[in-house]
Chains A and B, each alone.
Chain A
């Protein structure tokens, strides 16, 4: 066999394996989307993968009911059976039946099935993630600046203490933080979900590393030109440090948006629920309405997936650089 043939066969096999793996990775998402467009009856039919054409009849009560066509009576008349209703068979004109294959209606149905609605949950999640991210980026910038550009007593001790919090898992914080927030009367407020996460060592550490790599001459030149310390930070240092700032932003936003345990603990009322908490309650109350659950899962995942495909370079690199999981 010639060398080039070996190379072609080898690369073919590699792609075959990788595509097989990629299919397995994506499959749960396909299945989620396919299910989210099916009718309740269709979900329970075991042999159909793709959503099939479904026939709907407008009843006298102006309800839309799914029907199954049993047989053709005449050229344009069919006998139908109403699904999920104990009603006699009917003969209807074929033209009275509406045909639908992809049921988009599952999405609004799922959206409004919870109290107040998923819109509120989205708003909560977005607000919390946004403020947490803004806060954490800001506190990280300020702290990293102090660690790199200032000399002050106990600098190293403080930095070591900060680093030590990296070794503290969230589990040990749950009870004490819950009690502290309960004493402050903050349970079931946005503050409870934002304030404890307004600073993070990951961001401070990453920015400190980055600041250290920048030439000191920038600072000296700026000070000579009469730039204040705060001015140097926000006019020169921050614009130069956008790559790590973007990484911290994505990482913090993702972590906040996807977190479940903490918001689950500190919220009681329906209108304070985040997307993830709302989804977990929705799953427990609508355990078998898979088409609605999959629609809800889809619209919960969708915003992040879109952002991910738009900026995937930052997502992957950020997580690798951090060595932490989102």
Chain B
């Protein structure tokens, strides 16, 4: 290097980015914490120190637990199914087929479109009176569903259709939440397909050639080559999808603007939005934000720890 060691001119280059990141992305993390341990007015939210009171209140708040349970339901419903379908499509696309580019473009299309706009389209598909899904159900001679207006659990309503009851614990997420999960899987599928595909293409073809010589079946090749060698990608997608599902907001807001039937689609960030910007309980909402932050932070650490930067930041 031709330049000397102590060179402060670098700071001029760093100043714009540093200022923005510091003010709007780093200090807020501290400010948020201060907000969560203080009580105050709208104008001066940090006045009286109240310690962990907001966090203790959260534990007592049934609305909070409802939102956390719904968030976990959302993650459990969308992550494994979304990954399964994405892997299936990626495996099919990886068979050296013609038209790979076209398929990839089509499957990726929902990813780039605005989630607010496509959520409206799904609202229309799910419309109780005239929506397509109920038309199809009727034409197959089945009874229509209330979809986004249905507060009953998915397992509960299935059981009822078959004529028996289920204990409360097994009711599962509401049909309304499941409808949003279906839409979310559709929306995110292409993204996971493209990443799975990149992972599959990194597996050396020589391994499959060797397996072919040994007369391995399709399933054996998948079990002993594809699945283990794909595991960093799988783990990456698993963690990223879980993080995204803990952050879900827009489709909930667009498809059930008031939290759904019997508040059954209120997820963590939706509850946070209501507490912060509907009732303006900034301290309480900040405590809630911190809980969400910690969950996501732990997931991110896991991702960094086990996958690090080697899988996806190749540039």
Question: Is A260 a contact partner of B115 (Cβ separation < 8 A)?
Answer: yes
Complex Cα distance, B21 from A286, in Å, reads 39
Question: Is B11 a contact partner of A152 (Cβ separation < 8 A)?
Answer: yes
Identify A177's interface contact among B28, B138, B297, CB under 8 A: B28
Which residue in chain B gives the minimum CB-CB distance to A26?
B106
Residues of the A chain whose Cβ atoms lie less than 8 Å from the Cβ of B236: 323
Ordered by A's residue number, 5 sampled pairs between the chains whose C-beta atoms are within 8 Å are A158-B14, A168-B29, A175-B276, A175-B282, A276-B116
Residues of the A chain whose Cβ atoms lie less than 8 Å from the Cβ of B124: 31-32, 35, 290, 293-294
Convert A83-109 into 0s and 1s, putting 1 for each residue whose CB lies closer than 8 angstroms to a CB of B.
000000000000000000000000000
Interface flag for B312 (CB, 8 Å): yes
Least distance between B287 CB and chain A CB atoms (Å): 10
Interface flag for B76 (CB, 8 Å): no
Complex Cα distance, B315 from A240, in Å, reads 14
Residues of the B chain whose Cβ atoms lie less than 8 Å from the Cβ of A170: 247
Least distance between B34 CB and chain A CB atoms (Å): 9
Q: Among A50-58, A63-71, A198-206, which stretch is in contact with chain B?
A: A198-206
Interface flag for A122 (CB, 8 Å): no
- Report the 8 A-B pairs with minimum CB-CB distance, sorted nearest first: A323-B312, A176-B28, A150-B10, A199-B20, A146-B13, A143-B17, A196-B24, A176-B31
Give the interface SS of chain B, mostly helix, strand, loop or mixed.
helix
Convert B273-315 into 0s and 1s, putting 1 for each residue whose CB lies closer than 8 angstroms to a CB of A.
1001100001001100110110011001100100000011111
Residues of the A chain whose Cβ atoms lie less than 8 Å from the Cβ of B29: 168, 172-173
Least distance between B234 CB and chain A CB atoms (Å): 14
Question: Is A28 a contact partner of B17 (Cβ separation < 8 A)?
Answer: no
Give the interface SS of chain A, mostly helix, strand, loop or mixed.
helix
Identify B112's interface contact among A162, A210, A254, A296, CB under 8 A: A254
Residues of the A chain whose Cβ atoms lie less than 8 Å from the Cβ of B276: 174-175, 178
Residues of the B chain whose Cβ atoms lie less than 8 Å from the Cβ of A201: 21
Interface flag for A134 (CB, 8 Å): no
Given contacts A17-B92, A139-B17, A279 and B8 within 8 Å (CB-CB): no
Residues of the A chain whose Cβ atoms lie less than 8 Å from the Cβ of B7: 150-152
Interface flag for A308 (CB, 8 Å): yes
Which residue in chain A gives the minimum CB-CB distance to B127?
A290
Complex Cα distance, B16 from A124, in Å, reads 24
**Given pairs A15-B99, A35-B124, 6 additional interface contacts (CB within 8 A):** A172-B290, A175-B289, A195-B20, A206-B315, A261-B249, A305-B113
Least distance between B127 CB and chain A CB atoms (Å): 7
Question: Is A143 a contact partner of B89 (Cβ separation < 8 A)?
Answer: no
Question: Is A18 a contact partner of B89 (Cβ separation < 8 A)?
Answer: yes
Interface flag for B227 (CB, 8 Å): no
Question: Is A325 a contact partner of B114 (Cβ separation < 8 A)?
Answer: no
Question: Is B104 a contact partner of A316 (Cβ separation < 8 A)?
Answer: yes
Interface flag for A44 (CB, 8 Å): yes
The B199-239 residues at the A interface (CB cut-off 8 A) are 236
Question: Is B10 a contact partner of A146 (Cβ separation < 8 A)?
Answer: yes
Q: What bracket does the count of chain A residues touching chain B fall in?
A: 35 or more
Question: Is A326 a contact partner of B125 (Cβ separation < 8 A)?
Answer: no
Question: Is A46 a contact partner of B130 (Cβ separation < 8 A)?
Answer: yes
Residues of the B chain whose Cβ atoms lie less than 8 Å from the Cβ of A47: 135
Residues of the B chain whose Cβ atoms lie less than 8 Å from the Cβ of A140: 17
Question: Is A171 a contact partner of B93 (Cβ separation < 8 A)?
Answer: no
Interface flag for A114 (CB, 8 Å): no
Given contacts A25-B190, A198-B16, A319-B111, A179 and B282 within 8 Å (CB-CB): yes
The B63-108 residues at the A interface (CB cut-off 8 A) are 89, 92-93, 95, 97, 99, 103-108
Given contacts A28-B125, A305-B109, A150 and B13 within 8 Å (CB-CB): yes
Interface flag for B166 (CB, 8 Å): no
Residues of the B chain whose Cβ atoms lie less than 8 Å from the Cβ of A166: 300
Residues of the A chain whose Cβ atoms lie less than 8 Å from the Cβ of B304: 167
Question: Is A28 a contact partner of B108 (Cβ separation < 8 A)?
Answer: no
Given contacts A26-B106, A31-B125, A280-B254, A139 and B313 within 8 Å (CB-CB): no
Identify B9's interface contact among A139, A150, A197, CB under 8 A: A150
Residues of the B chain whose Cβ atoms lie less than 8 Å from the Cβ of A294: 120-121, 124
Residues of the B chain whose Cβ atoms lie less than 8 Å from the Cβ of A21: 89, 107
Least distance between B10 CB and chain A CB atoms (Å): 4
Question: Is A325 a contact partner of B272 (Cβ separation < 8 A)?
Answer: no
Question: Is A283 a contact partner of B120 (Cβ separation < 8 A)?
Answer: yes
Question: Is B130 a contact partner of A43 (Cβ separation < 8 A)?
Answer: yes
Question: Is B28 a contact partner of A46 (Cβ separation < 8 A)?
Answer: no
Interface flag for A127 (CB, 8 Å): no
